[in-house]
Amino acid sequence: MQRKVLIFSTLNPYPFWAGSEKFWFDFVSDSRAHADFKFHLVLADSPATRSKVTPLIARGVVVSFYNHFNVSPLRRNAYRLWDALRKCRFRTLPWYEQIKHARSDLVWFNVAGLADLVDLAYPVQICKKLSLPYWLVLQHSYEDFFFGSKLEIEAATEVATSARRFIFVAEKNRVSLERAIGVRLDNALRSVNSLSADEIRKAKEVAEKHPVDGYNRARFFNLARFSPKDKAQHVLLEALAAGEWKRRDWELSFIGVSDFGSFYLRKLAAYYGIDPNRIRFIPHTENVLSMIAEQDLLLMPSLAEGMPFAMLESMACARPALGTPVGGIPELVWENRTGWLARTTDVGDVQEAIERAWQNCLLWKQFGQNAQQHVELHHNQEKVHADLLRVLIEDLG
């Protein structure tokens, strides 16, 4: 008999489809998972989420949308009226009410950040009253995250320790949480973000047709949404503003930043005296591999991460990477093998790492090939999903 898994996507409605969604989406899309389980998804309503989950609905996956603003009685009544006027199918009850009505065998909470653990305190109480086991899957953490009160620590500890499994895609994320609550988690389970066999195949085709060029103009790129507090795009401009970089032949492409991000980064480049012709802005595209094909070296000076899919995709295209020691980046960037790792997130250390990469540009192609092999061996969904599915079957008998 198929068991039913109720999956809650990230609690915030992103206007785009990020790595926090891709992890569960890829797992639910895997045909192997449907042999033993039925899935019911709950996620925020937006054009992006509706278009993405349409293939899942066609496969028989139950999907419920909710309006995330609907949290207070006053707001609930306002949205109930608004929904009636628009004849939309928004859920007028809070999202966590689905736990009571879905009749599932396990609840899966997708956790975008450690602060979400406090918000999950009441939904977890519902799970306990119904004797429902639940999973937590963490996709991101700040290295220096701490809760602001005893009440928050106690709530987060209860949510974290009561889970049947707490899945981390980056080892440093687990360490950050355990330090924040002062407890070692016996239920921690290690997994990784991964790419499908088809994604890896397409990336290899890109690498064969468009190899890295470390001999001519250096084509640096940053592939990330615009979020200075996480992705730190501003650090790259400050690092590349030094005098010696004004005499070198390079360009930097920001791929996937918002209009506001482009506006701000142009102003910042002018502030640092960087030639505007060196900086390119490439809008987000579904065919991100075609954008990577035009680049040579990924620069990711992040201040906080999980295990970035952007880095996995770039490395699968045989692009070497340069990153900071946060989240899962050190698990992907092996110094002098798949790329270069800055000592800290400080601008000076990022600048020093870029300098090392520049001085070793003749190794970019070899490092890119090493990176591609690493992704194919350790981040292939064939194995990652099989391991996760085995644990899920074990937890539900």
Instruction: Write down the mean pLDDT value for the chain.
Output: 91
Which one is predicted more confidently, 210 or 87? 210
Are 86 and 157 in a shared domain? yes
Continuous segment of H or E residues that includes residue 197:
helix 197-209
pLDDT of residue 68: 54
Number of domains in the chain: 2
* pLDDT value at 80 more than 80: no
Are 73 and 136 in a shared domain? yes
Which one is predicted more confidently, 80 or 106? 106
* pLDDT value at 76 more than 50: no
Least confident of 89-98, 286-295, 313-322: 89-98
Are 230 and 317 in a shared domain? yes
pLDDT digits (tens, 9 = 90+) for 3-28: 999 999 876 555 456 778 899 999 99
* pLDDT value at 85 more than 50: no
pLDDT of residue 75: 43
Are 149 and 57 in a shared domain? yes
Question: Considering the chain, what percentage of its residues have pLDDT values greater than 70?
Answer: 91
pLDDT of residue 364: 97
Are 208 and 116 in a shared domain? no
Are 65 and 163 in a shared domain? yes
The whole-number average pLDDT for the span 348-370 is 97
Q: How far apart are CA 240 and CA 233, in angstroms?
A: 11
Is the Cβ–Cβ distance between 209 and 240 less than 8 Å? no
Least confident of 41-55, 181-195, 320-334, 346-360: 41-55
Q: How far apart are CA 195 and CA 135, in angstroms?
A: 22
pLDDT of residue 203: 98
pLDDT digits (tens, 9 = 90+) for 186-242: 999 999 999 999 999 999 999 999 999 878 899 999 999 999 999 999 999 999 998
Are 142 and 241 in a shared domain? no
Q: What is the CATH number of the domain that holds 147?
A: 3.40.50.2000
Are 188 and 216 in a shared domain? no
Per DSSP, the residues of 21-59 read HHHHHHHHH-GGGGGTEEEEEEEE--HHHHHHHHHHHHT
Are 147 and 208 in a shared domain? no
Torsion of CA 58, 63, 65, 68, to 10 degrees: -130
* pLDDT value at 72 more than 80: no
pLDDT of residue 83: 47
Predicted TM-score (pTM) of the model is 0.90
Q: Roughly what angle, to the nearest 10 degrees, separates helices 309-316 and 364-378?
A: 120
* pLDDT value at 86 more than 70: no
* pLDDT value at 79 more than 50: no
Are 18 and 165 in a shared domain? yes
pLDDT digits (tens, 9 = 90+) for 237-295: 999 998 899 999 999 999 999 999 999 999 999 999 999 999 999 998 889 999 999 99
74: domain range? 3-194+380-396
* pLDDT value at 89 more than 70: no
Q: How far apart are CA 345 and CA 306, in angstroms?
A: 15
User: Which residues, at least 6 apart from 301, have a Cβ–Cβ distance to it below 8 Å?
Assistant: 231, 232, 233, 235, 236, 239, 323, 324, 342, 345, 350
Are 36 and 7 in a shared domain? yes
Are 338 and 229 in a shared domain? yes
* pLDDT value at 127 more than 60: yes
